[in-house]
Structure 1
C-alpha cells in the first residue's frame, strides 16, 4: 500500500485528503458559510493573518496534533496575543470539523488539544448605580440616556445604536431588539442580532424609561423609523466617534473608573439583574444568549457575593457572642 505525504503507515485517509490544501479549503469554507458580515470579515482576517501563512500550504491529511502545537507556539512566539491565538485555533477546528463530519475528507480533527480553546479573561469591572448616574451626568446631554439604558437594560452597543422609535413601548416599559448596527471595514451595516436569541423584548426599569422619554423629546426625530441615538448631526453612531465626543477615557478616569469600557455598562446591567434574583433563563433572555454559559457566570459571581455576605454575618454573630460571653463573667 502506498502512503501519501503526511499519512502514517497503516492509517486510513480518504484519497481526496492528499489533494486539497488547507488554504483552498479554508477560504472556500469561509466563503460558503452562512455568516454575519462582521463575523465573515473576522474569519477572513484570522485565516489570512494567523492560519494561512503557517499552515495554508499543507494538505488536510497532513495536519497532525503535533503540527497544531507547533503552529500555536509560533503564533505566541511571534507576539500574537493569546486570545487571538485561541480564536484562530477555534476557526481552524471549525474548518476541519467540516472536513471530518460533512465532507468526510479526513478521519479525525487534529485540533483536539486540551486547553487550546481557552484563555484566562480578567474579570471586567462593574460600576455602582451611583457611578452609572455620575457617568450619565458627565457626558453631553445627547448621550446621557444612552449610558443609562446601556447599564439598565444590558443591551449591546450595536443593538442600542440600531434602536428606532418604533422599538420602544414606554407605556409598557419595554424595548424590542430587532437588529444591530455592525461596523465593517468600510461602512456601517444594519443586520439581524448576533443570534436568534438576540431578537427579544427587554423590560426596562422606570429610571431608564424616564431617561428615554426626555431623550426622545429633545434628540430624536418624530417619525417611527427615526433612530433613537445619533450623533450631533443626526449621523449613525460609531463607537470611536462616540468615545471622542464624550472624552470617554478621561471622563471614566475622573469618576474613579479608569479602564472602564462602554461594554462594561452591559456587564454592569447583567450583574444588577443577577443580583436582583433573575434566574438563568431570565438572564439568558435579557442578554440575548442561546447558551447558559454567560448567564451562569453572572449567577456564579452573585452566589460568591452571597457567600461573602453570609460569612460577614457569621463574623458579626461570633463577635456579638464573644461580647455577651465576656459580660456574663
Structure 2
C-alpha cells in the first residue's frame, strides 16, 4: 500500500489533508488517499477540531493497513430528520425564542411527518411538490413551512451534502391573504376610539391607529418610552411582548428595524396625558397600557370590545391588526416615500438596506401632523 499523499499546501491546509470552512460555517475535511484520489468526509463538522479528528482517524487506517475509500464503507445514510434536528440545534443563538417555537411547530407538525426518515441526498423536486400539494388549506402556515424546509436544505447545499435544493415551487413561500385588511380614515380611527365601551382602551386605539405599532410593541410600552412636550409627541419602541408556553416574555423587538421612535400627531397629547394619569402603572418603567390587574395586557381582552366598537362605526370584520394597516395606509396617503414608510412601520428588507438615510425626523413629524385631518 502506498503512503498517503499530502494535498498541495494553501490557505486552510494542514500538513496532511485539508480542513475547509464552508459558507454554512461548518467544516469540511478531505485528503488524498493511497489511490491518488481526493476523499471527503461523508458529513461536515460543527467544530474544526472534529474535522481534524476525522482526518487523524483516516491517517491511522492508512498507517495500519486497514484503509479503504470512505465512500465504500458501510455508512448509515443521513436522513433529513437527523439533519433538520442538527440545523435546529445550531440555530439556538441565531433565532429569537419565539421564532424557534414557530420553527419547532412547523417541523413537528408539517415537515417531519413526511420527510423525517427520507435520505437527505434522495430528496427531489417531485417529493417536495407532492408534500406541498397534500397540505391542508392553510396558506400562511404552508408558506412558512415551505420557507423553513427551503432554508434547511439551503444549508445542506452549503454543506455540500446535496447537489441541488429540491424546493423549487414558484411562489410557494409567498403568503396569500385570506382576509383583506381594512384601512380606516383618520376620522374613523377617532370614532372607533370613542366607541370603545371600556375607556382605558381608547388611547390604545388612537396610538395604534396613528403609529402603526404592533400589538406586542404597544403592550410593552413604558412611561419612559412616551415623550409629551410642547415640541414633541412620540413613542419609542425599545422592546416587545411575545407569549411563549402560556407566559408573557418581554424582550427586544422582532428586528433591528423595529427599534424606532414614531412621532404622533400633537393632537393626541391631551388624550395620552389623561391616559397616563388614569391607567398607566407608576414609575418610569410602568406599563402604559396594562391590564386591569396591572399585568401585561393580552390582545384577547381588548378584542371583543374592539369588535363591538368597530361594528358601531360600520366595520363588522375589523381586527386589531387592521389598525396597523390603517396607519400604513395613512402614511402613504400623507405622502410618505418608501424610505419614510419603512422607517415608521419598522419593516426590514435586505434589498432596501439604505432606506434609513432618506428619512428624517422632521419629515416624519410633518407626515404624522398631516394624518390628523381627513
Taking the aligned partners of 1:28 and 1:206, their CA distance within structure 2 comes to: 52
Taking the aligned partners of 2:112 and 2:219, their CA distance within structure 1 comes to: 35
- Sort the Cα spacing of 1:234 and 1:143 in 2 relative to 1 into closer, same or farther, 3 A: same
Alignment counterpart, residue 165 of structure 1, candidates 213, 220, 223: 223
How far is 1:293 from its partner? 8.5
How far is 1:14 from its partner? 8.1
Taking the aligned partners of 1:276 and 1:71, their CA distance within structure 2 comes to: 45
Taking the aligned partners of 1:120 and 1:68, their CA distance within structure 2 comes to: 20
| Unaligned runs of at least 5 residues, structure 1 | 1-12, 297-329
Higher Cα Rg, which structure: 2
Matched ranges for 1:242-253 at <5 A: 242-244=302-304, 246=305, 248-253=306-311
1:85 matched to 2:142: yes
TM-score in terms of structure 1 length:
0.79
The list of structure 1 runs, each at least 4 consecutive aligned residues, that deviate by more than 4 angstroms after superposition, is none
Match of 1:212 in 2: 272
How far is 1:15 from its partner? 3.7
Matched ranges for 1:47-86 at <5 A: 47-75=107-135, 79-86=136-143
1:131 matched to 2:191: no
Match of 2:36 in 1: none
- Secondary structure, in 3 states, of the residue corresponding to 1:19? coil
Matched ranges for 1:94-113 at <5 A: 94-101=151-158, 103-113=159-169
CA offsets 1:239-285 (integer angstroms, 9 cap, x no match): 112224x2x33332232111111010011011111111111111111
Match of 1:114 in 2: 170
Match of 1:6 in 2: none
Taking the aligned partners of 1:133 and 1:27, their CA distance within structure 2 comes to: 49
Match of 1:45 in 2: 105
Taking the aligned partners of 1:85 and 1:221, their CA distance within structure 2 comes to: 41
Taking the aligned partners of 2:343 and 2:241, their CA distance within structure 1 comes to: 20
- Secondary structure, in 3 states, of the residue corresponding to 2:170? coil
Matched ranges for 1:191-270 at <5 A: 191-244=251-304, 246=305, 248-270=306-328
CA offsets 1:100-132 (integer angstroms, 9 cap, x no match): 12x222121111221212243254111122221
- Secondary structure, in 3 states, of the residue corresponding to 2:213? coil
Alpha-carbon contact 1:100-1:108 (below 8 Å) kept: yes
1:284 matched to 2:342: yes
How far is 1:26 from its partner? 1.5
How far is 1:185 from its partner? 2.6
Taking the aligned partners of 2:89 and 2:327, their CA distance within structure 1 comes to: 36
Q: Which has the higher contact order (CA 8 A, sep 6+)?
A: 1
Moved more, 136-145 or 111-120: 111-120
- Secondary structure, in 3 states, of the residue corresponding to 2:262? strand
- Sort the Cα spacing of 1:262 and 1:14 in 2 relative to 1 into closer, same or farther, 3 A: farther
Match of 1:272 in 2: 330
Structure richer in helix, relative to its length: 1
TM-score in terms of structure 2 length:
0.70
The CA RMSD over aligned residues, in Å, is 2.1
Alpha-carbon contact 2:185-2:330 (below 8 Å) kept: no
Taking the aligned partners of 2:237 and 2:292, their CA distance within structure 1 comes to: 24
